[in-house]
Amino acid sequence: MNPQGSGSSACVSQPVAQDVRLAAEKFITKAGWRGLFMIELLRDDQGNVWFVELNGRPWGSMALCRRQGLEYPAWHVELAIDDQSRGGLNGSLGAQVVCRHAGREFMHLLFVLKGAKSHALSRWPSFWKTLGNMFRFRREDGLYNWRRDDPKVFIADFYYTIHDNVFKSRN
Protein backbone atom coordinates (compact mmCIF):
# COMPACT_ATOMS: atom_id res chain seq x y z
CA MET A 1 0.00 0.00 0.00
CA ASN A 2 2.44 2.64 1.20
CA PRO A 3 5.39 2.97 -1.21
CA GLN A 4 7.56 3.65 1.86
CA GLY A 5 6.78 0.15 3.14
CA SER A 6 3.72 -1.80 4.25
CA GLY A 7 1.53 -4.68 3.12
CA SER A 8 0.93 -5.16 -0.58
CA SER A 9 -2.10 -4.10 -2.55
CA ALA A 10 -1.51 -6.33 -5.56
CA CYS A 11 0.25 -9.62 -6.17
CA VAL A 12 1.76 -10.76 -9.46
CA SER A 13 2.45 -14.41 -10.16
CA GLN A 14 5.94 -15.27 -11.29
CA PRO A 15 7.65 -18.51 -12.20
CA VAL A 16 9.91 -19.85 -9.46
CA ALA A 17 13.51 -20.54 -10.45
CA GLN A 18 14.56 -24.17 -10.03
CA ASP A 19 17.38 -23.34 -7.58
CA VAL A 20 14.99 -21.35 -5.38
CA ARG A 21 12.40 -24.12 -5.47
CA LEU A 22 14.97 -26.76 -4.52
CA ALA A 23 16.30 -24.62 -1.64
CA ALA A 24 12.72 -24.12 -0.37
CA GLU A 25 11.99 -27.86 -0.59
CA LYS A 26 15.17 -28.63 1.36
CA PHE A 27 14.26 -26.04 4.00
CA ILE A 28 10.74 -27.44 4.48
CA THR A 29 12.00 -31.03 4.59
CA LYS A 30 14.66 -30.19 7.19
CA ALA A 31 12.10 -28.29 9.26
CA GLY A 32 9.78 -31.31 9.13
CA TRP A 33 6.89 -29.05 8.23
CA ARG A 34 3.58 -30.61 7.24
CA GLY A 35 0.62 -28.60 6.08
CA LEU A 36 0.00 -25.27 4.47
CA PHE A 37 2.90 -22.86 4.32
CA MET A 38 4.25 -19.93 2.38
CA ILE A 39 7.87 -18.89 2.16
CA GLU A 40 8.35 -15.17 1.66
CA LEU A 41 11.40 -14.11 -0.31
CA LEU A 42 12.63 -10.75 -1.56
CA ARG A 43 14.82 -10.16 -4.58
CA ASP A 44 17.14 -7.14 -4.41
CA ASP A 45 18.21 -4.87 -7.26
CA GLN A 46 21.20 -7.15 -7.97
CA GLY A 47 18.94 -10.21 -8.32
CA ASN A 48 19.92 -11.81 -5.00
CA VAL A 49 17.15 -13.75 -3.26
CA TRP A 50 16.70 -13.13 0.47
CA PHE A 51 14.65 -15.27 2.86
CA VAL A 52 12.13 -13.20 4.87
CA GLU A 53 9.88 -15.67 6.67
CA LEU A 54 8.04 -18.95 6.72
CA ASN A 55 4.29 -18.60 7.26
CA GLY A 56 2.75 -21.86 8.44
CA ARG A 57 -0.77 -20.69 7.76
CA PRO A 58 -2.92 -19.45 4.88
CA TRP A 59 -1.47 -16.26 3.47
CA GLY A 60 -2.88 -13.01 2.17
CA SER A 61 -2.14 -13.69 -1.47
CA MET A 62 -4.16 -16.94 -1.56
CA ALA A 63 -6.46 -15.35 -4.14
CA LEU A 64 -3.51 -15.18 -6.53
CA CYS A 65 -2.73 -18.89 -6.12
CA ARG A 66 -6.34 -19.92 -6.59
CA ARG A 67 -6.68 -17.68 -9.66
CA GLN A 68 -3.81 -19.71 -11.13
CA GLY A 69 -5.57 -23.01 -10.37
CA LEU A 70 -3.43 -23.87 -7.34
CA GLU A 71 -6.10 -24.99 -4.89
CA TYR A 72 -4.03 -25.02 -1.71
CA PRO A 73 -7.02 -24.96 0.69
CA ALA A 74 -8.63 -28.00 -0.97
CA TRP A 75 -5.31 -29.85 -1.10
CA HIS A 76 -4.75 -29.18 2.59
CA VAL A 77 -8.16 -30.61 3.45
CA GLU A 78 -7.39 -33.68 1.35
CA LEU A 79 -4.11 -34.11 3.25
CA ALA A 80 -5.87 -33.71 6.61
CA ILE A 81 -8.35 -36.43 5.67
CA ASP A 82 -5.77 -38.74 4.11
CA ASP A 83 -2.12 -38.22 5.04
CA GLN A 84 -1.16 -40.22 1.92
CA SER A 85 -3.03 -37.79 -0.34
CA ARG A 86 -1.22 -36.72 -3.47
CA GLY A 87 -3.33 -33.55 -3.72
CA GLY A 88 -1.31 -30.68 -5.10
CA LEU A 89 1.71 -32.71 -6.15
CA ASN A 90 0.73 -32.44 -9.78
CA GLY A 91 -0.50 -28.86 -9.60
CA SER A 92 0.75 -26.69 -12.41
CA LEU A 93 0.82 -22.95 -12.78
CA GLY A 94 -1.62 -21.26 -15.06
CA ALA A 95 -0.94 -18.04 -16.92
CA GLN A 96 0.76 -15.11 -15.22
CA VAL A 97 -1.94 -13.18 -13.37
CA VAL A 98 -2.37 -10.16 -11.14
CA CYS A 99 -4.67 -10.23 -8.13
CA ARG A 100 -5.55 -6.90 -6.53
CA HIS A 101 -7.04 -5.96 -3.19
CA ALA A 102 -9.29 -3.04 -4.20
CA GLY A 103 -9.30 -1.35 -0.78
CA ARG A 104 -5.53 -1.54 -0.49
CA GLU A 105 -5.14 -0.33 -4.08
CA PHE A 106 -7.23 2.73 -3.18
CA MET A 107 -5.11 3.26 -0.05
CA HIS A 108 -1.98 3.01 -2.23
CA LEU A 109 -3.36 5.76 -4.44
CA LEU A 110 -3.99 7.94 -1.36
CA PHE A 111 -0.42 7.36 -0.12
CA VAL A 112 0.96 8.29 -3.54
CA LEU A 113 -1.20 11.43 -3.58
CA LYS A 114 -0.05 12.37 -0.07
CA GLY A 115 3.59 12.18 -1.15
CA ALA A 116 6.79 10.89 0.40
CA LYS A 117 7.28 11.58 4.09
CA SER A 118 10.91 10.48 4.08
CA HIS A 119 13.95 11.43 2.04
CA ALA A 120 15.07 7.78 2.16
CA LEU A 121 13.13 7.01 -1.04
CA SER A 122 14.84 8.26 -4.17
CA ARG A 123 11.85 7.47 -6.42
CA TRP A 124 8.20 8.20 -5.69
CA PRO A 125 5.42 6.80 -7.91
CA SER A 126 3.59 9.14 -10.25
CA PHE A 127 -0.07 9.69 -9.31
CA TRP A 128 -1.28 9.41 -12.92
CA LYS A 129 0.78 6.31 -13.67
CA THR A 130 -0.47 4.72 -10.43
CA LEU A 131 -4.08 5.55 -11.34
CA GLY A 132 -3.60 4.09 -14.84
CA ASN A 133 -2.05 0.90 -13.44
CA MET A 134 -4.94 0.46 -11.00
CA PHE A 135 -7.47 0.37 -13.81
CA ARG A 136 -5.44 -1.80 -16.21
CA PHE A 137 -7.05 -5.26 -16.02
CA ARG A 138 -6.68 -8.29 -18.21
CA ARG A 139 -9.27 -11.02 -18.46
CA GLU A 140 -7.16 -13.41 -16.33
CA ASP A 141 -6.53 -10.84 -13.57
CA GLY A 142 -8.73 -10.70 -10.51
CA LEU A 143 -9.80 -8.93 -7.35
CA TYR A 144 -9.61 -10.27 -3.82
CA ASN A 145 -13.00 -11.28 -2.40
CA TRP A 146 -14.91 -10.63 -5.63
CA ARG A 147 -17.71 -13.08 -6.33
CA ARG A 148 -20.38 -12.14 -8.82
CA ASP A 149 -22.98 -14.06 -6.80
CA ASP A 150 -22.09 -12.25 -3.54
CA PRO A 151 -20.71 -8.72 -4.05
CA LYS A 152 -21.48 -7.74 -0.42
CA VAL A 153 -18.26 -9.38 0.81
CA PHE A 154 -16.20 -7.38 -1.69
CA ILE A 155 -17.97 -4.11 -0.84
CA ALA A 156 -17.64 -4.65 2.91
CA ASP A 157 -13.94 -5.56 2.56
CA PHE A 158 -13.32 -2.44 0.45
CA TYR A 159 -15.17 -0.18 2.90
CA TYR A 160 -13.55 -1.53 6.06
CA THR A 161 -10.06 -1.52 4.53
CA ILE A 162 -10.41 2.20 3.76
CA HIS A 163 -12.19 3.00 7.01
CA ASP A 164 -9.75 1.11 9.22
CA ASN A 165 -6.70 2.67 7.55
CA VAL A 166 -7.97 6.25 7.38
CA PHE A 167 -9.28 6.22 10.94
CA LYS A 168 -6.45 4.23 12.54
CA SER A 169 -6.01 4.65 16.24
CA ARG A 170 -3.10 6.95 17.02
CA ASN A 171 -2.30 4.98 20.21
CA–CA distance, 145 with 154 (Å, rounded to integer):
5
CA–CA distance, 80 with 63 (Å, rounded to integer):
21
pLDDT of amino acid 169: 63
pLDDT of amino acid 51: 93
pLDDT of amino acid 128: 94
CA–CA distance, 124 with 4 (Å, rounded to integer):
9
pLDDT mean values, one per 10 residues, the chain (171 residues): 78 86 93 86 89 86 81 86 81 75 92 84 87 86 87 94 84 55
Residue at 86 is within a domain: no
Residue at 2 is within a domain: no
Residue at 92 is within a domain: no
Number of structural domains the chain divides into:
2
CA–CA distance, 97 with 111 (Å, rounded to integer):
24
**Are 19 and 76 within one domain?**
yes
Do 71 and 91 form a contact (C-beta atoms < 8 A)?
yes
Q: Mention every residue, 6+ apart, whose C-beta is less than 8 A from residue 112.
A: 3, 124, 125, 126, 127, 130
Domain assignment of residue 60, given as a range: 13-81
CA–CA distance, 94 with 24 (Å, rounded to integer):
21
Q: Mention every residue, 6+ apart, whose C-beta is less than 8 A from residue 79.
A: 34, 35, 85, 87, 88
Residue at 5 is within a domain: no
pLDDT of amino acid 92: 64
CA–CA distance, 105 with 132 (Å, rounded to integer):
12
